[in-house]
Amino acid sequence: MNTNYGIKIWSDNNFIIKNSTVNVNYKNKPSLLEITNNVRNKGYKGPILLRFPHLIKKQISTLYNEFNRAKKEFNYQGDFQAVFPLKVNQFPNFVNSLMEVSKTYNYGLEAGSKAELIIAMTHTPMGAPITVNGFKDKEMIALCFIAANMGHNITITIEGLGELETIIEVNHEFNKKREIPVIPKIGVRIRLHSAGIGIWAKSGGYSSKFGLTSTELLEAYELIQNNNLLEQLWMIHFHIGSQMSDISPLKKALREAGNIYADLKNRGASALNAINIGGGLAVEYSQHAHAKEINYALSEFANDVVFVLKEIAKNKEIAEPDIFTESGRFIASNHSVLIAPVLELFSQDYHEKSLRLKEINPPLIVELYDLWVSLNRATAREYLHDGLDHMESLLTLFDLGYIDLEDRSNTEILVNLIIKKSILLLKDDGTEELQKLQNKIQERYLVNFSTFQSLPDFWGLKQHFPMMPIDKLDIKPTNPATIWDITCDSDGEIAFDGELPLYLHDVDVTKDEYFLAFFLTGAYQEVLGMNHNLFTHPTEVIVEFDEEGNYTLEKLIESQNIMDVLDDMDYDKNWLDKKLKYQLEESTLINQTQKRELLGKLYLYLSENSYLKTIQASNEESS
Ligand SMILES: *Cc1c(COP(=O)(O)O)cnc(C)c1O
C-alpha cells in the first residue's frame, strides 16, 4: 500500500483520489474534506456519518442488471426479485433512501422481528414483496395476516413446524367466517447439508438455528396439504451465511435447494414458484491485494444461480422458478462513510520546543543533539543506529541514578526527532530495515470516534474496514499508525499490523485538522454498534446530488445529547436535572453570580452530544 490506501481494491470506483483529497466519484466529484468541513461549519463536531443514496441505487441496479443479463444469456424464464433484509440497517435515513432509489424495481423488504415487520409494512410499496423470516409467535403471524389484509404481497417463511401450526390456527381465526379468505403466502426455509464458510458461517448448514430438515419438510408439506394451504405455498428459502468469500458452497446449496424445490413441485405443490437464495453476497473490505476477501464477481454469482436452477428445472421437467435474493451487506455497505477527526498524535509532545536542555548536559545527550542536527540522507542510517544505541545507554544511566528526569525527557525527544528525520530522508529507499524500524515505532492516533459504536464487527470479529485520511494524499505518509478511539477501553484500538500496514501522516493537529475516513460501514455496523462509555450513534447526514451535479446535505440528525442518552437508559431526566441544580445551589464554595454562570455552562454541556470537541477548543475554554 502506497499513498492510495488500496482504494482501487475496495472502493469499486465510488471514491477516487484527486490531487491531495479523496473525492466522491459522482457528478461534480466533491471531496470528502469539503463535505466534512461543510457539516462542521454548521457547528457539528465529533464523528460524522455521511450517507450516499446514489451508491445504494448503484448496488440495487447492479444486482438487477447482472441477474437480468444472466437470465437473458441463459434464456431463463423465471423472474428475478430482491428484498432488503432490514436487520442489516434499519435506520430511517437509510431505509427511506433505499425505498426512494429503488422505486422502479419493485424492491421489497425482509423482516425478522415485529418491529422490523412494522417498518416493512409502512415502507414497502403495495405489491412489492415483503418476506418474514426468523422466529415468530402467534402475534407476529397475526401481523402478517393483517399486512395481507391491507393488500401487501407478504410471504411468511416457516422456520419450524410449530410456526406452521400457528399459521393454521391464525388462519382459522381470521378466515373462518369469510367467503374469500385473505392469507399471506407461505415459504419454507430448508436446512441444508452444505454450510457457508467464513466467520459468519453459522446461519447455513445442518447445525443452523433455522430451517426444516427433510423429515420436517415432508411433515410440513402434508400439514399444508391437509389444511388446504397448498395454494399459498410458493417459496423455498435458504440462506448460507454472510460475507461468502468463496462461491462453491453456494453452488452446492443451490443444487440441494433446487432438487428439494423440484421434488415438492412434482409432489403436487402447484403454487410453488420461487427459490429465495438468501443473502451472503460478499463485499471486498481489503485494502491490500494479498488479503482480498472474495474470489468471485457478481456476474459469476448471477451466472451460477441462473445456470444451476435452469439445469435442475430441465432435468426435473419443471418450470424455471422465480429467483429471490435477500442481499443486505452487498446493498448497504458502501453507502456510508464515517469521518472522524484525529484529536492527538501520541508522540506530538516529542517536539523540539519541548526540549529542556541545560547549561551543561550529559555527553551522550550532546551527542544525540549533534546527531539530530547533522543527520543527512547519506548519514541517516548510521546516525539512526547510533541514536538508538545512545538511548539504551541513557536509559540505563537513568535507572542507575546518574541522570535526571529532564535528561531522560531530552533523550526521548531527541531520539524521536532523529527517527522522524531519518524516516523522512529515507522514505523513498524502501529498504526492509527501514520498514522494520518504522513498524516498530508506531504512532498512536487518538481519533474522535468509538470502535464499539461505529465498527462493532472490528471489535467482535476482527473484520477489517478500509480506512484512510481524506486529505494530504499527495504526501507520502510515513507513520505506521495505531488507531485509538476515545472509549476508556483498551479494546478500542486498531493496532498497527505489519501484514496489513496502515501509514498515516505526521501532522500537528493543533495547527492542522486531520480526518480519517472509515468506509463500507453501511451494513450491520450501525445497529450492532453499542453505546459503550455512552458514545452514541454519530451525527449523520444524507449527501444528495442535484441536476447540476452539486451536492446538498439533507436530513441531518445530530448525535444524541447527553441528557437524551441518559434518558434512553431510563434515568429520570428531571431527577438528574434537579440533583445537579441542587448541588450547585447548595455549594458553599462559590457566590450567587458564579453559581448562575456555572449553571448556564452546565446546561450548555448537557445539550451537547457526548463526543469530544477538538483539543484546541477545550484549551481555548480553559485558558
Ligand atoms: C442476514 C440475512 C440476510 C442478509 O445477508 P447478507 O449477507 O447481509 O446479504 C439475508 N437473509 C436472511 C434470512 C438473513 O438472516
Q: How far is the CA of 218 from the centre of ligand 1 (A)?
A: 25
Residue bearing the CA closest to ligand 1, atom 15: 239
Residue 623 pLDDT > 50, yes or no?
no
pLDDT on residue 194: 67
Query: Model confidence over 538-555: pLDDT tens digits?
Result: 999 999 999 999 999 999
Distance in angstroms (rounded) separating the CA atoms of residues 320 and 310? 6
| C-alpha dihedral (116, 118, 123, 129), degrees to nearest 10 | 80
Q: Are 274 and 324 in contact (CB under 8 A)?
A: yes
For 297, counting Cβ atoms within 10 Å of its Cβ (0-12 exposed, 13-18 middle, 19+ buried), the class is exposed
Residue 133 pLDDT > 90, yes or no?
yes
pLDDT on residue 618: 39
Q: How far is the CA of 57 from the centre of ligand 1 (A)?
A: 19
pLDDT on residue 200: 46
At 443, is the secondary structure helix, strand, or coil? strand
pLDDT on residue 206: 54
- Quickly state the pLDDT bin for 2 (edges 50, 70, 90): low
Q: Are 518 and 465 in contact (CB under 8 A)?
A: yes
- Quickly state the pLDDT bin for 188 (edges 50, 70, 90): very high
Amino acid at 608: E
- Give, in order, the Cα–Cα distances in Å from 480 to each of 233, 289, 301, 559: 57, 19, 37, 31
Query: Model confidence over 308-349: pLDDT tens digits?
Result: 999 999 999 999 999 999 999 999 999 999 999 999 998 766
Q: How far is the CA of 33 from the centre of ligand 1 (A)?
A: 33
Helices (H), 191-247: 214-226
pLDDT on residue 354: 87
Phi, psi of 379 (to 5 degrees): -100, -5
Query: Model confidence over 369-425: pLDDT tens digits?
Result: 999 999 998 888 889 889 999 999 999 999 999 999 999 999 999 998 898 888 888
Q: Mean of the pLDDT values across residues 126-144?
A: 96
Q: How far is the CA of 87 from the centre of ligand 1 (A)?
A: 8
Strands (E), 166-288: 185-189, 233-237, 274-276
- Quickly state the pLDDT bin for 205 (edges 50, 70, 90): low
Pocket test for ligand 1, best of 242, 324, 524, 525 (most atoms within 8 A of CB): 242
Report the atom number in ligand 1 closest to the C-alpha of 200: 7
Query: Model confidence over 208-228: pLDDT tens digits?
Result: 667 898 899 999 999 999 999
Whose CA is closest to 541, among 525, 553, 530? Answer: 553
pLDDT on residue 436: 72
Phi, psi of 249 (to 5 degrees): -60, -30
Residue bearing the CA closest to ligand 1, atom 11: 278
Beta bridge partners of 484: 446, 493
Pocket test for ligand 1, best of 110, 208, 323 (most atoms within 8 A of CB): 110
Whose CA is closest to 328, among 238, 243, 248, 254? Answer: 243
Query: Model confidence over 483-512: pLDDT tens digits?
Result: 999 998 888 999 998 889 899 998 988 888
Helices (H), 495-611: 525-528, 562-568, 573-586, 592-606
Distance in angstroms (rounded) separating the CA atoms of residues 160 and 189? 8
Q: How far is the CA of 551 from the centre of ligand 1 (A)?
A: 32
The binding-site residues of ligand 1, defined as CB within 6 angstroms of any ligand atom, are 85, 87-88, 133, 203, 239, 242, 278-281, 326-330, 523
Pocket test for ligand 1, best of 59, 60, 191, 203 (most atoms within 8 A of CB): 203
- Quickly state the pLDDT bin for 441 (edges 50, 70, 90): confident
Strands (E), 1-152: 15-18, 21-24, 48-51, 80-85, 108-111, 129-132
Q: How far is CA 519 from the centre of its chain?
A: 7
pLDDT on residue 381: 85
Residue bearing the CA closest to ligand 1, atom 3: 279
Q: Are 38 and 339 in contact (CB under 8 A)?
A: no
Instruction: State the CB neighbour count (10 A cutoff) for residue 178.
Output: 8
At 267, is the secondary structure helix, strand, or coil? helix
Beta bridge partners of 17: 22
Q: How far is the CA of 508 from the centre of ligand 1 (A)?
A: 44
Q: How far is the CA of 240 from the centre of ligand 1 (A)?
A: 8
Antiparallel, parallel or unpaired: β 153-158 and 322-325: unpaired
**Which domains can be identified in the chain, with CATH numbers?**
7-44+337-347+442-561 (2.40.37.10), 64-281+289-326 (3.20.20.10), 352-439 (1.20.58.930), 563-606 (1.10.287)
Q: Are 352 and 372 in contact (CB under 8 A)?
A: no
Q: Tell me the average pLDDT of the chain.
A: 91
- Quickly state the pLDDT bin for 620 (edges 50, 70, 90): very low
For 569, counting Cβ atoms within 10 Å of its Cβ (0-12 exposed, 13-18 middle, 19+ buried), the class is exposed
Distance in angstroms (rounded) separating the CA atoms of residues 31 and 447? 20
- Quickly state the pLDDT bin for 70 (edges 50, 70, 90): very high
Q: Are 421 and 380 in contact (CB under 8 A)?
A: yes
611 vs 273, more confident: 273
Q: Are 58 and 25 in contact (CB under 8 A)?
A: no
Amino acid at 589: L
Report the atom number in ligand 1 closest to the C-alpha of 331: 9
